[in-house]
Amino acid sequence: MNRPFRVAAVFGFLFVLFGAFGAHGLEGRVDARGLEIWKTAVLYHALHALVLLALALRPPVARGPFRCFAAGIAIFSGSLYLLVLTGQKWLGAITPLGGLVLLAGWLWLAIRPPEAVARRD
């Protein structure tokens, strides 16, 4: 249980860090559209970091959905962060792949809930 919890904690730490950076470090450096893109990245990052934490706290950890959410955060939010920081528009083409991975995590949970949840049904 320690590794998934630590992974969730790192993703949580990063969403606070990137949220603060967007609010204070990007002001005056990027346009309004860039700030909106950054906010979207932070929102999805934050929500799914909390999902990672919830999964980590419910042993046995649903490894498939956990991995989907972790990869989805990295691809979806990561590509948006890089797009804003670098201005490389082609990174926007990667973002939907991250969204698909996040959707896969949610679908996986819907089709096959974690063992601890399924026992209560």
**Per-residue pLDDT for 113 more than 80?**
yes
Is the C-alpha dihedral spanning 9, 4, 47, 99 positive or negative? Answer: positive
- What pLDDT is recorded for position 59? 85
In the block, residue with structure tokens 């929500």: 47
Question: What is the pTM assigned to this prediction?
Answer: 0.91
Tens digit of each residue's pLDDT (9 = 90 or more) over 67-100: 999 999 999 999 999 999 999 999 999 999 999 9
Confidence of residue 120 (pLDDT cuts 50, 70, 90): very low
Query: How many C-beta atoms surround the C-beta of residue 61 within 10 A?
Result: 22
Q: Which of 43, 2, 3, 42 is nearest to 21 (CA)?
A: 42
Distance, in Å, from the CA atom of 44 to the CA atom of 72, rounded to the nearest integer, reads: 9
Tens digit of each residue's pLDDT (9 = 90 or more) over 10-59: 999 999 999 999 999 998 899 999 999 999 999 999 999 999 999 999 88
Distance, in Å, from the CA atom of 22 to the CA atom of 19, rounded to the nearest integer, reads: 5
Distance, in Å, from the CA atom of 14 to the CA atom of 17, rounded to the nearest integer, reads: 5
Distance, in Å, from the CA atom of 25 to the CA atom of 84, rounded to the nearest integer, reads: 12
